[in-house]
Chains A and B, each alone.
Chain A
Amino acid sequence: MAHSQQSDLPVISDPTEFDYQTGSLLERLVFNHRMVVVILCVIITLILGFQASKTQLQAGFAKTLPKNHQYIKNYQENRDFLKGLGNSLRVVVASHTGDIYTPEFLTLLENVNNELLYIPGVNRNGLKSIWTPNTRWKVVTEQGFEGGPVIPEDYDGSPESVAQLKQNVERAGIVGDLISNDGTSAAIRVPLMDVDPDTGGRLDYMGLISKLESIRDKVSGDDTTIGDPIVEAAAAAGDVSMHITGFAKLVGDLIDGMLAVILFFAIAVVIATALLYSYIRCFRSTLIVIGCTLIAVVWQLGILATLGYELDPFSILVPFLVFAIGVSHGAQKLNGVLQDMSRGTDKYVAARYTFRRLFLAGVTALLSDGVGFAVLMIIAIQVIQDLAITASIGVLVLIFTNLILVPVVLSYIGVGEKAVKHSRESQKSMEDMHALWRFLLLFTHRKPAAIAIVIGVVLAGVGLHVSEDLQIGDLDPGAPELRADSRYNKDVAYMTANYSVSSDIFAIIVKMPPNTCNDYEVLSLANELEWRLRQLDGVEDIRGLNTYTRKIMGGINEGFPKWETLFRNQGTINYAVSELVTVGVVDPDCSIWPMGVYLSDHKAATLQGVVDTLEAFNEEWDGPKVDFLGAAGSAGFEAATNIVVKKANREMLFYVYGAVILLCLLTFRSVTGVICAVLPLMLTSVLCEALMVWLGIGVKVATLPVIALGVGIGVDYALYVLTVILAKVKEGKSLEQAYYETINFTGRVVALIGVTLAAGVITWALSPIKFQADMGILLTFMFIWNMFGALILMPALAAFLIKQKPEVNGAQVVEGGS
């Protein structure tokens, strides 16, 4: 970033000798009124700090959907009819000592059932378990049907009534749904209302989840409040546990995860402080840089809260990035002041010189970071666009706090004497430099450079080969947002193992004109589509109006299996459909229903199979009677997301590299410079994809920003290092000499920046939220690897590509080439 050379400004040790009218208008404005600047910043920080304290956490899923994809549009248009698919919980109470048919266990289940009923936000009419009257059994007799509620009306806990209940459960056909396949646990389906009818407000996820967890504590024995009916029933029922799955629970866990991430921020601050201090060796100036950067984070949060943004699991990561970038730029400023002071310049003048030298360069570098963020705007997924906006705001804020405020504060405080001394002593000749730096200088010679380039090419080849296996989408079972061994995903695994329901549902929206859902041909087409989908690997079950209709058509004909098919007797179809309207399988208008395709996993290939089959079917059987639309359900959304992400991944690479190349071209004004800067970045991108294959991370919403950020921030290094090298080569110095001087001037800061950036994001790897961990690992890799690229590969490329002027005392005369 240091576009100018250090020797062009006079050393002034007495500030009274300094001409206050020199420098740009902005410099004069800032430094001739530096107290005003400080006071303004304090006021702004107070106001925005107050605003930031109102920041809300939010983890809704609508924002992660690709809103322009036809599937999502179909869902949004029809969502009122597809309520059941959106928001409901499954609560399972499990016995570890036997089956559920003991009066003690049944009492516990009844108590849990009743407690759930009165949690605000629960749709009481839709709640379903063996304890709710809407769960009924039915058998065929010679007189017709016989049936009743599953819980006997005269249930009294006696062995007879428990036996009666057991028989009713078998006759009701709810095993696998409300009772586990092995009979050792019972489920309660808890539909939720998006709008709380009592308050009119949005569903309070945190309140809901804390109530659920308090019930879980009572059931599991963690809460032993005496006199509480659940606590007592659980104690009587023996070894029992509770499992909760469903979107609302997932949201709750994500918000918990976000709270954990806030702790990581503190860790990142400590690491960055330690790193900066070990470089500068001055505690107070280190604190100034860290403090000003934290002010940037406060401003950013304050502005977002003022604009009405909520923090989601993506945008909560932005403060980390802002902090890391801020510290790296603060370090540059600090370094500049330190160098000037070590030459004897007064702290005020040094700060002002640093501002003069580095402000424009800093703005350029921050704008290049901004380009990385801005490119993300092309992806029509709101969380990513929000990420782009929040990060852009953060970068803009850094211009004020770290490019202006840091030098201003340093002009008051300066850098400690010890640090200045240390800095003066660390200026070493080429021969006395640390072995590491001498090693880097080797790459300005053609032979080592050739070796480095060959290794780079081999790595690129291997990376490209490995990255051919790069998958789209999420690869692990359970909720992909969370880790496989998280409590939630263990509960999901429990449900999948013990119930015939899977959480990966691809719901096809079957839509037709009102009162035609009972049309024989429409239902036949649904059968055909169902059968084609069943041919696919990964499709475990399919349920919908057509499948239930077939069952009922068999059922009302005395249950004789040979009747169990869709036969063309309109009266029978009408009866079956009218029964199914009452249980909500189809809407009362008989015009829309979801065909639930239950998948064994949500791997991209599984989802793509469903999408391809659906589209081929629609191509073949397109007609006026019915539309089979994709898609709702978690797997449906994921299929749409995969399609968008796959496309966006290519587009984004194209745009981000386009922008970076343009930026480099403007800065270096040389094609060879662009090649030297961009090729190492490309190697990193390729290796990052290979790393994803290696770690089993698929391309998904969360990994899209990584490449953009990695490249956008990674190009900073090139800007820092290559600009200086090019300038010095232009002066007639050999590449080695130029690189030596560059390392002395900014190279070591580059190393510091690399580690600081990495320190900012590596803590994410510990996040309970899986995609944050993935992002942390990949970004750390990209930041570090880009640093090596800039320090090794870039000079190596320069050794071959950059025209050097013949030098009198040069070790080597290199012919120009490009």
Chain B
Amino acid sequence: MMTIKKTWMVLFLSLLGLGGATAAAYDVLELSSEPSHLASKSFLYSINKFDDRYFATGHFGHIIYSDDAGASWTQAKVPVRSSILDIYFPTAEKGWAVGHEGVILHSADGGKTWTKQFDGNQYAQEGLKQYQQLLAENPDNSDFQYYIEEMEFAISQGADKPLFKVHFQDENNGAAYGAYGTLVTTTDGGKTWLSGMHKTENFDFRHLFDVAPTANGKLIISGEGGVIMEGDLANGSGVALPSPWEGSFFTCVVSSEGDIIIGGLRGQVFRSSDNGQTWVAVNKPQSSTIIDSLVLSDGRIVIVGQAGSLLVSDDNGASFEPLLSTGKAIHGIAEGEAGNLLTVSAQGVQSVAIK
């Protein structure tokens, strides 16, 4: 009698998680972000401005926002502790954030609170089903077998693929871009996410680092190992463009005149004035790897060398001059509201004055 009672007790306790012997595993996908007074002063990956609100994203699930041009920051409520890499708000209220572990977060209140819509585990599981179904529907297309194997491999690897970039045309249609060619799209505001990998000409599964809308209504996608693609916003496909170099392009930007500027490893920067058909090496001083770019409100273009040098162009990216150097690594920039730039780095948000 006693034994049975005891057994039940142990079972009951272990169901409650009070057993003690089995501690819960530490998983950043299962742990919500904790408030920290250091959130705006520690590792941040990106900074962006949407509708007068600035957003910066960082490690430990940090999403911070500022309504006073970066003077003060508020930490959003985020359900994961993953590193958050990018954010996009097609409307003032609705926005998406992406990051490591393939996480996709959604906010419907202008970025104050976030819910998880998708992660790297779902990506692999659901991607496998998606391609199994596509193969069943198209038994002749051997490509789908290839993607099935890729998704099976992804399952074995776990949620190891970061999503570097997110972009939405409107509050329903958007896509997230990431490592090993990951591309997931949604047409219902993120309720469902589908792999778009099979629609891109990225057969080596190169990382996709950055996107920017182009003058001809498409999307420029830049990635690892010289990958440049033209994305079709309507059907989510990606067509490979000729590449001027075999190194990685971490950032791309489109000038107010429609010129495409791409920058990357070892300070290489190229410019195209024909929507990516031909590329010209840009005349610029030597710099470290280019990792972010920005069109200022006055039309000047600023590109960021990883080691902290900022270069500026006032001829739509045909040539760049040194703007200033912070002497310390920078991860991303946004334009401030008082002739300044906001930079993010391992030390958080900083403001630097520009001419």
Partner-B contacts on A (CB < 8 A):
140-142, 521, 524-525, 528, 531, 534-535, 558-565, 567-570, 621-624
Contact = CB atoms under 8 A, between A and B. Distances in A.
Given A560-B248, A560-B291, A562-B85, A524 B26 contact: yes
A621 B23 contact: yes
B242 interface: no
Q: Describe B's contact surface by its main secondary structure.
A: loop
Nearest to A560: B250
B287 to A, nearest CB: 13
B240 interface: no
B36 interface: yes
Contacts of A560: 209, 248, 250, 289, 291
Please list the 8 inter-chain residue pairs (A to B) with the smallest Cβ-Cβ separation, ordered nearest first: A142-B247, A569-B160, A623-B23, A565-B83, A561-B331, A568-B160, A562-B85, A567-B100
B285 interface: no
B25 interface: yes
Please indicate which of the listed interface residues A525, A563, A622, A623 has the most CB atoms of chain B within 10 Å of its own CB. Answer: A563
Interface residues of B, number: 39
Given A142-B266, A565-B100, A624-B23, 7 more contacts: A142-B245, A142-B265, A558-B248, A560-B209, A564-B43, A567-B160, A568-B158
B59 interface: yes
B334 to A, nearest CB: 15
6 contacts: A142-B246, A524-B27, A525-B26, A534-B38, A560-B289, A569-B157
A528 B83 contact: no
Nearest to A569: B160
A561 B164 contact: no
A142 B248 contact: yes
B36 A535 contact: yes
B60 to A, nearest CB: 6
A317 to B, nearest CB: 45
Nearest to B159: A568
A528 B26 contact: yes
A558 B26 contact: no
A210 B60 CA distance: 50
Taking each of A559, A562, A567, A570, which has the highest tally of chain B beta carbons within 10 Å of its own beta carbon?
Answer: A562
A381 B266 CA distance: 57
A531 B36 CA distance: 10
Interface string B78-94: 00010101000000000
B162 interface: yes
A562 B26 contact: no
A618 to B, nearest CB: 11
Contacts of A142: 245-248, 265-266
A141 B266 contact: yes
A534 B26 CA distance: 19
Contacts of A528: 26, 81
A525 B36 CA distance: 18
Contacts of A562: 45-46, 85, 162, 164, 209, 331
A596 to B, nearest CB: 17
B28 A524 contact: yes
Given A535-B38, A561-B329, A622 B247 contact: no
Contacts, number: 74
A567 B250 contact: no
A535 to B, nearest CB: 6
Contacts of B83: 565, 567
B265 A558 contact: yes
Interface in B220-245: 224, 245
Nearest to B157: A569
Nearest to B225: A142
Nearest to A626: B26
B153 to A, nearest CB: 12
A622 B26 contact: no
Given A142-B247, A525-B26, A560-B250, A534 B42 contact: yes
B101 interface: yes
Interface in B244-263: 245-248, 250
A797 to B, nearest CB: 55
Contacts of B160: 567-570
Contacts of B46: 562
B191 interface: no
Nearest to B266: A141
A561 B292 CA distance: 10
B355 interface: no
B99 to A, nearest CB: 9
Contacts of B224: 558
A34 to B, nearest CB: 76
A568 B83 CA distance: 12
B37 interface: yes
Interface in B313-347: 329, 331
B291 A561 contact: yes
Contacts of B27: 521, 524
B306 interface: yes
B101 A568 contact: yes
Contacts of A535: 36-38
Contacts of A621: 23, 26
Contacts of B266: 141-142
A662 B250 CA distance: 80
Interface in B24-66: 25-28, 36-38, 42-43, 45-46, 59-60
B324 to A, nearest CB: 18
Nearest to A559: B289
Contacts of B59: 531, 565
A568 B43 CA distance: 19
A563 B162 contact: yes
A296 B285 CA distance: 81
A521 B164 contact: no
Contacts of B159: 568
Contacts of A568: 101, 157-160
Nearest to B163: A562
A622 B21 CA distance: 10
A243 B179 CA distance: 48
A159 B130 CA distance: 62
Contacts of B37: 535
Nearest to B28: A524
A565 B164 CA distance: 13
B125 to A, nearest CB: 16
Nearest to B25: A521
Contacts of B100: 565, 567
Contacts of A525: 26
Contacts of B25: 521
A569 B209 CA distance: 18
B289 A558 contact: yes
Contacts of A141: 265-266
A564 B332 CA distance: 14
Contacts of A623: 23
A561 B246 CA distance: 20
A78 B36 CA distance: 34
A561 B45 contact: yes
A623 B247 CA distance: 44
Contacts of B85: 562
B124 to A, nearest CB: 12
Nearest to A563: B162
B23 A567 contact: no
A521 B38 contact: no
A561 B162 contact: no
A60 to B, nearest CB: 39
A298 B21 CA distance: 62
B118 to A, nearest CB: 16
A521 B26 contact: yes
A269 B81 CA distance: 68
A563 B28 CA distance: 16
Contacts of B245: 142
A604 B51 CA distance: 48
A569 B101 CA distance: 10
Nearest to A528: B26
A622 B201 CA distance: 48
Given A535-B38, A567-B101, A568-B101, A559 B306 contact: yes
A531 B60 contact: yes
